[in-house]
């Protein structure tokens, strides 16, 4: 059993990401201190952000909460003023003091230090870790609201120090592999058994969509700034006889879509209920903007959609090349709409089974086992000075 200090986004959140799937597998055989990061972007003057800050301040000096066997949760807080060296030093001192305190409290010795957000690379070599891991799922410097230059520098420092770096897309790995000793491509897996429930005709349909006429075109995930609102507007304008459903917290500006009667933003729905919605969808979509951020994305929802057996239409992302024979990839608005129309008219049981067979064995259990084997076989960076202070 390994001891792991695991730094990632909030454990209980609207949107279940790879970090959540990985940790739930890890705790089956390892003891994990899950540290919720303070966030990379500057907080906004909003009720949501203010509530988060107050909540974190209130729990700052409370010991880690035991969530279940082998899993302890603690909420970190930092000042996301990454351009200030003084603030960086303050964040490092404060964060290290807290983590070391709870590390002693839980009797954690020689842990694996596992980092998702790159602004916590400052911790490497300061927690008596036996291995350090960076798990990179996005090109964070291109995310909205972050200090791109400062975050880029912090990530470079992290990559030069870390023992092994996992990248969830090939483009991401190619872009950053020259900065680190042990870059490993590690694409997303899927919770197949969960999303495959959408294949069952007897599944109860949620009341909020039960009366909608088909076809239903659906999206599941955060409605964020990386969604192509112009593309979505084009679809709902040209196909008023189709119903469009978006499930997930809305953070993007959707004002231009509110006047349309054939689109509904349902907001957050529990993870357990998502297959019920997918079962009603005729086609699932991934309408991301085409930009540098999308070039490095591996959309976790792709394999979730495929597990449901539903047809998928997406805008182009390099990571989707391996799936171009399974899904529709629209390079223009007109092509995107045409591909949805094609699947509505031509989908069949054979195509459905092909989609399912492509992903059913790609479980998170197998992926995490492979990741842990790779970590175990990586030697610690011999070039690290154990007394180095950055």
User: Per the domain annotation, does 107 fall within a domain?
Assistant: yes
Q: Which tokens sit at 205?
A: 């349909």
Per-residue pLDDT reduced to its tens digit, 62-89:
899 999 999 999 999 776 655 667 777 7
User: Per the domain annotation, does 131 fall within a domain?
Assistant: yes
| Percent above pLDDT 70 for the chain | 90
For residues 211 and 177, state if they share a domain. Answer: no
pLDDT at 86: 75
Evaluate if residue 6 carries a pLDDT over 90.
yes
Given pLDDT bands bounded at 50, 70 and 90, which one contains residue 143?
Answer: confident
Q: Which tokens sit at 17?
A: 């990401």
CATH of the domain at 213: 3.40.50.2000
Q: Bridge partners of 73? A: 34, 65
Query: Judging by beta carbons within 10 Å of its beta carbon (0-12, 13-18, 19+), is residue 266 exposed, middle or buried?
Result: middle
For residues 209 and 151, state if they share a domain. Answer: no
For residues 300 and 353, state if they share a domain. Answer: yes
Per-residue pLDDT reduced to its tens digit, 229-251:
999 999 999 999 999 999 999 99
User: Per the domain annotation, does 383 fall within a domain?
Assistant: no
User: Per the domain annotation, does 386 fall within a domain?
Assistant: no
For residues 180 and 221, state if they share a domain. Answer: no
Which domain range does residue 240 map to? 192-359
For residues 200 and 340, state if they share a domain. Answer: yes
Per-residue pLDDT reduced to its tens digit, 268-299:
999 999 999 999 999 999 999 999 999 999 99
The DSSP bridge pattern shows strands 243-247 and 216-220 to be: parallel
For residues 230 and 352, state if they share a domain. Answer: yes
For residues 198 and 185, state if they share a domain. Answer: no
Kindly state the average pLDDT of the residues 78-105: 81
Kindly state the average pLDDT of the residues 214-243: 97
For residues 216 and 278, state if they share a domain. Answer: yes
Our count of domains for the chain comes to 2
pLDDT at 90: 81
For residues 137 and 213, state if they share a domain. Answer: no
Q: Which tokens sit at 110?
A: 């020689």
For residues 197 and 292, state if they share a domain. Answer: yes
Per-residue pLDDT reduced to its tens digit, 44-65:
555 555 555 555 556 667 899 9
| Percent above pLDDT 90 for the chain | 78
Calpha distance 25→119 (Å, rounded): 25
For residues 142 and 234, state if they share a domain. Answer: no
Kindly state the average pLDDT of the residues 149-164: 94
pLDDT at 389: 27
For residues 55 and 182, state if they share a domain. Answer: yes
Evaluate if residue 193 carries a pLDDT over 50.
yes
């Amino acid at each position: 059993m390994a001891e792991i200090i695991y730094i990632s986004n909030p454990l209980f959140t609207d949107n279940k990401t790879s970090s959540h799937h990985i940790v739930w597998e890890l705790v089956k055989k390892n003891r994990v201190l899950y540290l919720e990061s303070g966030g990379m972007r500057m907080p906004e003057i909003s009720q949501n952000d203010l509530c988060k800050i107050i909540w974190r301040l209130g729990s700052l000096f409370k010991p880690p909460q035991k969530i279940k066997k082998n899993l302890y949760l603690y909420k970190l807080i930092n000042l996301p003023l990454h351009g200030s060296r003084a603030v960086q030093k303050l964040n490092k001192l404060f964060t290290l003091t807290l983590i070391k305190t709870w590390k002693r409290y839980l009797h954690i010795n020689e842990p694996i230090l596992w980092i998702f957000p790159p602004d916590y690379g400052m911790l490497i070599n300061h927690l008596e870790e036996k291995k350090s891991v960076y798990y990179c799922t996005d090109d964070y410097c291109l995310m909205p609201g972050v200090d791109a230059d400062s975050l880029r520098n912090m990530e470079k420092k992290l990559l030069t120090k870390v023992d092994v770096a996992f990248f969830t897309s090939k483009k991401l790995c190619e872009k950053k592999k020259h900065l680190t000793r042990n870059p490993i491509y590690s694409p997303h897996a899927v919770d197949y058994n969960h999303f495959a429930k959408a294949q069952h005709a007897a599944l109860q349909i949620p009341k909020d969509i039960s009366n909608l006429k088909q076809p239903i075109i659906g999206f599941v995930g955060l409605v964020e700034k990386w969604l192509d609102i112009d593309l979505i507007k084009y679809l709902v304008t040209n196909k008023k006889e189709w119903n469009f459903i978006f499930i997930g917290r809305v953070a993007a500006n959707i004002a231009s879509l509110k006047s349309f009667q054939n689109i509904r933003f349902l907001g957050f729905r529990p993870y357990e209920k998502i297959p019920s919605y997918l079962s009603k969808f005729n086609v699932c979509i991934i309408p991301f903007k085409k930009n540098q951020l999308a070039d490095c994305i591996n959309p976790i929802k792709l394999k979730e959609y495929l597990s449901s057996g539903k047809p998928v239409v997406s805008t182009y992302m390099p990571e989707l090349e391996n799936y171009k024979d399974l899904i529709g990839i629209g390079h223009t608005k007109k092509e995107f709409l045409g591909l949805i129309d094609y699947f509505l008219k031509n989908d069949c049981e054979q195509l459905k089974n092909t989609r399912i067979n492509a992903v059913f064995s790609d479980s998170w259990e197998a992926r995490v086992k492979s990741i842990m084997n790779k970590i175990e076989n990586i030697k610690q960076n011999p070039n690290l000075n154990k007394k180095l202070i950055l």
